[in-house]
Amino acid sequence: MIINGNETSQVLDNLNSNTLYNVSLTAIYPDKTESDDVSASERTLVGPAPSNLHFTNISANSLQLHWEHGTPAVDLYKLTWVPSGGTDKKEMIINGNETSQVLDNLNPDTLYNVTLTGIYADKTETDKVSASESTYKTESDEVSASESTCKSVVYKSLRFTFLLPYQLS
């Protein structure tokens, strides 16, 4: 690309996330002679992770997971879940325009650790976002709290909110 001689910066758009780019600049003088190249290298940042990962419609055998997009540029999501302390890890790939998924065929009365990662077209991934929730013992169990939500506040903290049974009416 050619940049006006008075400019001292240029935004390079439509780059891939988490990719090392080498950029060179050559001055072209009025007599059409060129300077030696000046070069720099920089890696683009990883795009933001999905956020506001939370559960609804909890039963003895299923959990419904919801989230917000970290960026519209995500092509796919990788969703993994495993019983807490277990090794039977499951994984599925979901379209990047989705914002919820039902996990079914789960074990009753089990805490599940769930992780969601955005995947870009170039196969790079966002940071992971995680949450945990338990299935009920039976379908008729009374719950002490529901509609639990973990919201990312900053990179190293989160806010956990929930509704008590008397708030559900």
| pLDDT tens digits, one per residue of 65-76 | 999 998 888 899
Please answer whether residues 74 and 93 qualify as being in contact, where contact means their C-beta atoms are separated by less than 8 angstroms: no
pLDDT at 142 over 90: no
Which domains does the chain carry? 51-151 (2.60.40.10)
* Cα distance between residue 127 and residue 18, in whole Å: 11
Rounded to 5°, angle at Cα 103 from 102 and 105: 130
Looking at residues 93-114, what average pLDDT do you find? 95
pLDDT digits (tens, 9 = 90+) for 9-65: 888 887 777 778 888 888 888 899 988 888 888 888 777 889 989 998 888 999 999
Please answer whether residues 103 and 133 qualify as being in contact, where contact means their C-beta atoms are separated by less than 8 angstroms: no
pLDDT digits (tens, 9 = 90+) for 107-124: 999 999 999 999 988 888
Give pTM, 2 decimals: 0.64
